[in-house]
Amino acid sequence: MLGFHVLTLFPEMVMQGLHTSILGRAVGKQCISIEAVNIRDYTTDKHGKVDDYTYGGGAGMLMQAQPVYDAYLSVARKLEGNPRVIYVTPQGKTFHQEMAKELAKEEELIFLCGHYEGVDERVLEEIVTDYVSIGDYVLTGGELPAMVMIDAIARLVPGVLHNDESATTESFHNDLLEYPQYSRPEVWRDKRVPEILLSGNHAKVDEWRLEQSIERTKRLRPDLYEKWAGRNVTGVSKGVKHQGVKQQN
Ligand code: ADE
């Protein structure tokens, strides 16, 4: 069981986004729990204000330390130990599959979603353990990045995916992209499903899929291909055949 706690100004966005489809089912099965804490509920300002101008001038407003800290305390007080607190920010380390795997081993995770021009540095120093970005682009707030990360982490928690789903979720640890896949009909707009896939020869199908994965990775993600090739210097013939072809992109 992994508990996600999201400190946000838009709790409905987080709750609606994360309670659908596979994650909604996982919450129902109690493999994970997801709580969104409204930072605004913790402001001591009588008008419900959570932001103010930045000292030293400059455009935009900053989220103030007090409501963020008190929202954090409301969560931290009911949890054991010192859960990691992830501040989603374009200034953080770029999120990747290995990080998702590592975070999936935690029992509780707290996400802090910033808005406006950011959050007062002092509260970040006080509570944040990890600064994480989802990529080199800037979004309007931290909710979408937090949701992306929670989805990637949650699907690695035991029980979240069904067996048939997890078979296709070996992620990026093999550094190869997924091979092309086909479903019925056999012919669509004059395009045939590759003959080998209809052969019933599983060894040949595996071989074909690996070749396709390698070719596709080389063409689309030369960086991943180099990594894979470096780890598989002994070559495809030496039993790497069944590694690495079953993943979703
Ligand atoms: N907040 C705004 N943009 C972001 C990004 N790219 N990653 C994480 N948090 C963000």
> Distance from first CA to last CA of the chain, Å, rounded?
25
Cα of 229 from ligand 1 centre, angstroms: 32
Q: Residue 240 has what pLDDT?
A: 44
Cα of 54 from ligand 1 centre, angstroms: 20
Q: What is the pTM of this model?
A: 0.89
Are the beta carbons of 77 and 99 closer than 8 angstroms?
Answer: no
Residue 198's pLDDT band, with cuts at 50, 70 and 90, is very high
Show Cβ contacts of residue 102 under 8 Å, excluding neighbours closer than 6 positions: none
Clarify whether residues 9 and 88 are in a common domain. yes
Clarify whether residues 134 and 225 are in a common domain. no
The span from the CA of 142 to the CA of 195, in Å, is 47
Side chain identity, residue 243: Q
CATH number at residue 210: 1.10.1270.20
Clarify whether residues 32 and 143 are in a common domain. yes
Last residue of a domain, one of 154, 189, 221: 154
Residue 163's pLDDT band, with cuts at 50, 70 and 90, is confident
CATH number at residue 145: 3.40.1280.10
Show Cβ contacts of residue 52 under 8 Å, excluding neighbours closer than 6 positions: 61, 62, 64
Clarify whether residues 109 and 183 are in a common domain. no
Cα of 103 from ligand 1 centre, angstroms: 18
Side chain identity, residue 190: D
pLDDT digits (tens, 9 = 90+) for 25-77: 999 999 999 999 999 999 999 999 999 999 999 989 999 999 999 999 999 99
Select from 9, 10, 86, 89 the residue to mutate for testing ligand 1; criterion: most ligand atoms less than 8 Å from CB.
89
* Range(s) of the domain holding residue 173: 169-231
Q: Which two tokens stand for residue 108?
A: 């509780």
**pLDDT at residue 245 greater than cutoff 80:** no
The span from the CA of 17 to the CA of 24, in Å, is 9
Clarify whether residues 49 and 99 are in a common domain. yes
Clarify whether residues 15 and 120 are in a common domain. yes
Q: Mean pLDDT lowest for which of 11-20, 192-201, 226-235? A: 226-235
Select from 112, 134, 148 the residue to mutate for testing ligand 1; criterion: most ligand atoms less than 8 Å from CB.
134
pLDDT digits (tens, 9 = 90+) for 21-36: 999 999 999 999 999 9
Last residue of a domain, one of 109, 126, 154: 154
Q: Which two tokens stand for residue 26?
A: 């996982």
Q: Count the residues in the chain.
A: 249
Clarify whether residues 54 and 140 are in a common domain. yes
The total of structural domains in the chain comes to: 2
Show Cβ contacts of residue 22 under 8 Å, excluding neighbours closer than 6 positions: 155, 160, 161, 165
Clarify whether residues 120 and 199 are in a common domain. no
Clarify whether residues 107 and 175 are in a common domain. no
Cβ–ligand 1 contact at 38 (below 6 Å): no
pLDDT digits (tens, 9 = 90+) for 98-124: 999 999 999 999 999 998 889 999 999
